[in-house]
Amino acid sequence: MATFGGRREVAGFDEHLVKSRQRVADHGEVFTPRWLVDDMLDLVKSETERIDSRFLEPACGSGNFLVPVLERKLTAVQSRHGRSEFEKRHYALFALMCVYGIELLPDNVAECRANLTALFARFLGPSAGHEWNRAASAVVAVNVVQGDALKMTDARGDAILFPEWGYLGRGRYQRRDFRLDDLTQRASASVGLFEAFEEHEIFTPVKTYSRMTVQEVGG
């Protein structure tokens, strides 16, 4: 392994670890190499292989963590639902629905969304209709947000909202939108003052949508 002017050569290929020295100085932007991402994800291997486990990367860059997470989820989809094209496609979209990112820089946001949708499209193959690509684009548009994770605000300064997606079976999805600052309280709500309450009694979604098909997800 060697590093040359911001590139690291790993296993026969080069990875860009920085886009420019100025971006490093201005934003502290340094990308995590793939080998390290894989080692970190192996620490939570069982979660990465669950289709319905949710991952949030608060400084997602161009998707260095989210793309490998989605790859692992799609491998699980193929293993469990590959015999049914209907189930494979719907669970693949649900896998995409379960990855989230926040990123400060707009070009990284665009790259991350493009990388995730490209991986999804490759997995489904050319036989899938355009409605799947439209649905995937709609999902990453709301799941990958330009904003400040520390302030929990988007590029406009509004509170970050994330959709909680659910796959109900038979080609139907459910969406409920929550504020990120509310979601971060879920872990602490299981003990203490709120321990006697159910989660739905504490956290109210900003908006609840009717059940949706793939076509309706894509708008």
Judge if 9 and 85 occupy the same domain. Answer: no
Partnered with residue 176 across adjacent β-strands are 164, 208
Pairwise pLDDT comparison (191 vs 142), residue with the higher score: 142
Pick 54 or 23 by higher pLDDT. Answer: 54
**CA–CA distance, 200 with 74 (Å, rounded to integer):** 30
In this structure, the answer to whether residues 63 and 22 fall within a common structural domain is no
CA distance 44 to 207: 31
More confident residue, 23 or 156: 156
The Cα–Cα gap between 168 and 32 comes to 35
Query: Which pLDDT score is estimated for 174?
Result: 98
Burial class (CB in 10 A: 0-12, 13-18, 19+), 52: middle
Same domain, 25 and 126: no
Structure-model confidence comparison of residues 88 and 183, the more confident one:
88
User: Does the pLDDT of residue 88 top 70, yes or no?
Assistant: yes
Assign 15 a pLDDT band (cuts: 50, 70, 90): very low
Share of the chain above pLDDT 70, in %: 78
What local confidence, expressed as pLDDT, does residue 75 receive?
98
As for how many domains the chain has, the answer is 2
- Which whole number is the average pLDDT over 177-194? 72
Residues 21 and 121 in one domain: no
> What is the rounded CA–CA span in Å between residue 77 and residue 146?
28
Regarding whether 177 and 167 lie in a shared domain, the answer is yes
SS3 79: helix
Q: Does 119 have pLDDT greater than 90?
A: yes
93-116 in b/e form (b: 16+ CB < 10 A) is bbbbbbbbbbbbbeebbebbbebb
| β-pair type (7-10, 2-4) | antiparallel
Whether residue 19 is found in the same domain as residue 106: no
Residues 143 and 41 in one domain: yes
Q: Which domain holds residue 51?
A: 32-217
